[in-house]
Amino acid sequence: MVLIQRAFKVIFLVFILLQTSCEDMNFYNCEDCLSIEPATCILDIVLTSTSAANYDYHVIVYQGKVEDNIVIDDRYTSNNFEFEVSLNKEYSVKASMVRGGVTYVSINSVTPMVSYQEDYCETACYFVIDNKVDMKIKYF
């Protein structure tokens, strides 16, 4: 009898996990609600962490994959920054820095897009999602 109860619990948990694993897990802030669908968005590039503060990064922003080599921005900076881009296109970012004679590189990509939500806020809203690129180098 105990074996049947455990089997039932396992099957129930697997069923619950399968039902929720493919849902849209975005949480929206109604303050970011846009009434008109945007054509562009701000790409938020996050570089700094506590251990890397005051270090200059060489940051290259690419349209598409890094391998495509379509450079749309190239700069040296020690601060997070924003960059205006078109929606529904992939953007890759490569950030490198030198610390103690060793070069550290971080590569990440995102595809900013719009999500339309009718019932999330008081009115129907467009939200820009996937527009933040985390370039923090965590281990030195």
Q: pLDDT > 90: what percent of the chain?
A: 59
Q: So what's the pLDDT on residue 23?
A: 43
CA distance 75 to 54: 15
16 located within any domain? no
42 located within any domain? yes
Sign, Cα dihedral of 130, 135, 136, 140:
positive
Q: Tens digit of pLDDT for each residue in 55-96?
A: 889 999 999 999 999 999 999 998 899 989 999 999 999 999
120 located within any domain? yes
CA distance 132 to 21: 23
Secondary structure class of 84 (helix, strand, coil):
strand
78 located within any domain? yes
140 located within any domain? no
Q: What domain range is 81 assigned to?
A: 25-134
129 located within any domain? yes
CA distance 26 to 106: 25
CATH of the domain at 112: 2.60.40.2190
Q: Are 128 and 26 in contact (CB under 8 A)?
A: no
- Mean pLDDT (10-residue bins), the chain, 140 residues: 68 59 65 93 85 79 97 94 95 93 94 93 93 84
Fill in the amino acid letter for 77: T
6 located within any domain? no
Tally of structural domains, the chain: 1
The tally of CA atoms less than 13 A away on the side-chain side of residue 4 is 1
According to DSSP, residue 78 is labeled S
2 located within any domain? no
Q: Are 136 and 106 in contact (CB under 8 A)?
A: yes
pTM over 0.85: no
